[in-house]
Chains A and B, each alone.
Chain A
Amino acid sequence: MLKKISKIPFSGTPEQEEQLRACINESKHDKHLLMTVMQKAQDIYGYLPFEVQKMIAEGMDVPLEKVYGVSTFYAQFALSPKGKYNISVCLGTACYVKGSQQVLDKICEILGIEPGECTMDGKFSIEECRCVGACGLAPVFTVNEDVYGRVKPEEVAGILAKYN
């Protein structure tokens, strides 16, 4: 999978670093826990910038290329920061058959960005996902934790307006 790598400079806080160090210390006895650490790191920073990957590699005592290899293999690891509101449009089969592509197109049109990108003001980012498990409500998209089901393209603008 090709990933968009962010050029936005890294701006981690000392608190974040402390959290990350704590979770590395918890797991460094077992290198198999690399992915678990990376998942926690992403929870802490919202994405996995190069600087964070380096800290993980050093802390877990694994080669950096291995961390990078894992981070680029799995769709969930983000190398770019997400917007304040991350929109995730389900392109699972159930949603696709019910027209989620049109919903995605509409969202992209309104925000003027493509999936994988973030708006200039850092407010919205869009990603595609595969089945959030709410197929009964297809087509589905989520904005951060909020789930919107049975969405029609013409309703998109109204929903996005709530996040201004």
Chain B
Amino acid sequence: MKSLAELAAIQDKVKDSIVLPEGSGDVRVVVGMATCGIAAGAKPVYDTLTDGAKDLSNVTVKQTGCIGICQFEPVVEVYEAGKEKVTYVKMTPEKAQRVVEEHLKGGKVVEEYVYNYKPDQTDGGYGTLAKSDFYKAQKRVALRNCGVINPESIEEYIAMDGYKALGKVLTGMSSDDVIKCVMDSGLRGRGGGGFPTGRKWSFTAANKADQKYVVCNADEGDPGAFMDRSVLEGDPHCIVEAMTICGYATGATEGYIYVRAEYPIAVRRLEIAIAQAKELGLLGKNIFGSGFDFDLHIRLGAGAFVCGEETALMTSIEGNRGEPRPRPPYPAVKGLFAKPTTENNVETFANIAQIILKGAEWFASMGTERSKGTKVFALGGKINNTGLVEIPMGTTLREVIDVIGGGIPNGKQFKAAQTGGPSGGCIPAALIDTEIDYDNLTSIGCMMGSGGLIVMDEDTCMVDIAKFFLTFTVDESCGKCAPCRIGTNRMKEILDKITSGTGTQADIEKLEELADHIKQSSLCGLGQTAPNPVLATLRFFRNEYDAHVIDKKCPAGVCKALLTYKIDADKCKGCTLCARNCPVNAISGKVKEAHTIDTDKCIKCGACMAGCKFGAISRG
């Protein structure tokens, strides 16, 4: 690639295949084939569509990344020139065959397969995804190409203005210009810490060295979060482009992408993207004739959470046990292979090209005073619309839960939302009007984290959740420093006691004390934040802890040791079903007479309650 004109020529050639020209009669069908889509069975759907459309000259069928509506996978979208796109959900090969016959060949939408189909709706019988509650409040910057383009085609990325920002940077901006632009945009790191990205770049740029590096953190360790995976699977070129821009701005000529090994599809698409960029000369020597060289490598993680921490990540790239190093020296001074290194998260990089193209003011116009732009969240747990959402900073949690998320299933009560994974905390229902940004979340003892947002309802026990996260950190502690290695274990033992009914008030106090010590004396962020889920739940749900230690009850009915099952003699019809269902014969009673449970024998499996047709069995 020698010039912007050359890039523009490629763009002109392919643009029409994505932005279908009005009146052309062209149809573009995309199938969501990210991990979740494939898991739900998108491959046979794609095959059926490709096969069915092979004789239709005006129809192209492409794979794409995550469209965002995970619980409706497999998803197929049909774009027609000059028309609103049609979103087909929960597709099967049979349904796809009907779409081929009736829609692609016959020109008639198969309404009953469309997203949000309501037979009694007057405006055509089906809803459009773009106008739905789920989509309306969203703003797609980092995810702009996810679910739109074919991630395995560099041409399609170029058609959507891809590599234009890189061209602009290399042909007309100094590295200071680039850093200033990123700084003015107000972009802060999306990997959890929220450090201003422009400042980070300026530190590395200021250090002289014979070799510097750019590292992309794609380790995505927060279990239950998949934002970075979606970007990598849906738009890998945007990371390649942004890392090259970062390299130019900071004076680095080599980059590493550290991806968790659990993401094979992301890895494959990144490999394809890198190979394609090399072929077009968008990676390699003398990019855009500017004299700037840049090369990229991929390294796979091997399932260690601590490797998401920046210094541990670098130790792991170097081929060692992924143990963190004390900071300072910071990576900007002494990072990968002891050279100055800039390390950013996937989503942080995904914003860069847009900032360069549309300007710092444009980016800074979104969001709140100190948190600019948008944030991607992986919405999961007890919520109707699970999926990937990108919202402007400052959106309230209420809007995310009630409107975008469509509320809690089965008419249950919202209890709390967990953000920041094992390092984070929870936002309780009472604070549902909190505007989501870095500082607001920190002020309530929570954190933005990388974007996992897990919704919990009345059936979730907060003590159990705290224990869940602590079990995670105990497993994942690398063992290098004692406070984290031993301290988290002691905390977990106390939580085990509490959830099994042998805890005391003194234990809760000990828990708080330990938490404090671990936070202050651990070597890296893992230990320093490990007590957070316990502290947050203690702060907002102290009553649940008290119920466990004083009343020996688990209000949510989760902690098995604290449960007792009872049969209401008035409601019991003596049908004997429960007695037959009980795996340990703990239930006795005569036919047509009220039954009773022997609590000593009962293993609290809940089979009796699940099976009772009269609602006669309760748990408390």
Task: Indicate which residue in B226, B302, B320, B455 contacts A131 across the interface (CB closer than 8 Å).
Answer: B226
Cβ-closest chain A residue relative to B387: A136
A133 lies within 8 A of B36 (CB): yes
By a CB distance below 8 angstroms, the chain A residues around B30 are none
By a CB distance below 8 angstroms, the chain A residues around B455 are 97
By a CB distance below 8 angstroms, the chain A residues around B263 are 133
Interface centre among A31, A35, A73, A97 (most CB of B within 10 A): A97
A97 lies within 8 A of B454 (CB): yes
Cβ-closest chain A residue relative to B469: A93
Instruction: Determine whether B168 belongs to the interface, using a CB cutoff of 8 Å to chain A.
Output: no
Instruction: Determine whether A4 belongs to the interface, using a CB cutoff of 8 Å to chain B.
Output: no
| A144 CB, min distance to chain B CBs, angstroms | 13
With A and B bound together, what is the CA distance between A36 and B267 in angstroms?
14
A138 lies within 8 A of B380 (CB): yes
With contact pairs A70-B320, A93-B380, A93-B381 given, residues A132 and B262 touching in the complex (Cβ less than 8 Å): yes
Instruction: Determine whether B589 belongs to the interface, using a CB cutoff of 8 Å to chain A.
Output: no
- Tell me the total A-B contact number using a CB cutoff of 8 A: 138
With contact pairs A93-B452, A132-B262 given, residues A74 and B303 touching in the complex (Cβ less than 8 Å): yes
With A and B bound together, what is the CA distance between A129 and B262 in angstroms?
9
By a CB distance below 8 angstroms, the chain A residues around B421 are 93
| B160 CB, min distance to chain A CBs, angstroms | 24
Task: Indicate which residue in A38, A97, A137 contacts B70 across the interface (CB closer than 8 Å).
Answer: A137
Cβ-closest chain B residue relative to A154: B610
By a CB distance below 8 angstroms, the chain B residues around A33 are 319
Instruction: Determine whether A20 belongs to the interface, using a CB cutoff of 8 Å to chain B.
Output: no
B229 lies within 8 A of A133 (CB): yes
Task: Indicate which residue in A69, A91, A93, A130 contacts B321 across the interface (CB closer than 8 Å).
Answer: A69
- A residues 55-103 near B (Cβ < 8 Å) are 66, 69-70, 73-77, 91-98
| A53 CB, min distance to chain B CBs, angstroms | 14
Interface centre among A69, A76, A95, A131 (most CB of B within 10 A): A131
By a CB distance below 8 angstroms, the chain B residues around A69 are 320-321
B381 lies within 8 A of A149 (CB): no
A1 lies within 8 A of B475 (CB): yes
Task: Indicate which residue in A77, A91, A98, A136 contacts B223 across the interface (CB closer than 8 Å).
Answer: A91
Instruction: Determine whether B338 belongs to the interface, using a CB cutoff of 8 Å to chain A.
Output: no
With A and B bound together, what is the CA distance between A66 and B73 in angstroms?
44
With A and B bound together, what is the CA distance between A134 and B224 in angstroms?
9
B35 lies within 8 A of A138 (CB): no
Type the 1/0 row for B386-418, where 1 means its CB is closer than 8 Å to any CB of A: 110000000000000000000000000000001
Cβ-closest chain A residue relative to B70: A136
With A and B bound together, what is the CA distance between A74 and B313 in angstroms?
12
A36 lies within 8 A of B318 (CB): no
Type the 1/0 row for B370-390, where 1 means its CB is closer than 8 Å to any CB of A: 000000001011100011000
| A45 CB, min distance to chain B CBs, angstroms | 15
B472 lies within 8 A of A35 (CB): no
By a CB distance below 8 angstroms, the chain B residues around A138 are 380-381, 386
- B residues 320-353 near A (Cβ < 8 Å) are 320-323, 337
A74 lies within 8 A of B304 (CB): yes
Task: Indicate which residue in A75, A94, A134 contacts B381 across the interface (CB closer than 8 Å).
Answer: A94
Cβ-closest chain A residue relative to B476: A1
Instruction: Determine whether B360 belongs to the interface, using a CB cutoff of 8 Å to chain A.
Output: no
B478 lies within 8 A of A133 (CB): no
| B232 CB, min distance to chain A CBs, angstroms | 10
With A and B bound together, what is the CA distance between A144 and B36 in angstroms?
16
Cβ-closest chain A residue relative to B263: A133
By a CB distance below 8 angstroms, the chain A residues around B304 are 73-75
By a CB distance below 8 angstroms, the chain B residues around A136 are 36, 70-71, 73, 380, 386-387
With A and B bound together, what is the CA distance between A32 and B40 in angstroms?
38
With A and B bound together, what is the CA distance between A93 and B379 in angstroms?
11
Instruction: Determine whether B299 belongs to the interface, using a CB cutoff of 8 Å to chain A.
Output: yes
Cβ-closest chain B residue relative to A62: B319
Task: Indicate which residue in B229, B300, B378 contacts A39 across the interface (CB closer than 8 Å).
Answer: B300
B299 lies within 8 A of A36 (CB): yes
Instruction: Determine whether A147 belongs to the interface, using a CB cutoff of 8 Å to chain B.
Output: yes
A149 lies within 8 A of B454 (CB): no
Interface centre among B299, B305, B381 (most CB of A within 10 A): B381
Cβ-closest chain A residue relative to B233: A133
With contact pairs A93-B418, A135-B380, A137-B36 given, residues A130 and B223 touching in the complex (Cβ less than 8 Å): yes
B73 lies within 8 A of A137 (CB): yes
B319 lies within 8 A of A34 (CB): yes
6 A-B pairs with the lowest CB-CB distances in the bound complex, closest first: A136-B70, A93-B224, A92-B223, A74-B302, A75-B303, A94-B380
A-B contact pairs, 22 of them (CB 8 A): A1-B475, A32-B337, A66-B320, A70-B320, A73-B322, A75-B303, A76-B301, A93-B222, A93-B469, A97-B382, A97-B456, A130-B223, A130-B303, A131-B224, A133-B263, A134-B36, A135-B36, A135-B378, A135-B380, A136-B380, A136-B387, A149-B39
Residues of chain A at the chain B interface (Cβ within 8 Å): 1, 31-36, 38-39, 66, 69-70, 73-77, 91-98, 129-138, 140, 147, 149
Residues of chain B at the chain A interface (Cβ within 8 Å): 35-36, 38-40, 70-71, 73, 221-226, 229, 261-263, 299-305, 316-323, 337, 378, 380-382, 386-387, 418, 421, 452, 454-456, 460, 465, 468-469, 472, 475-476, 478
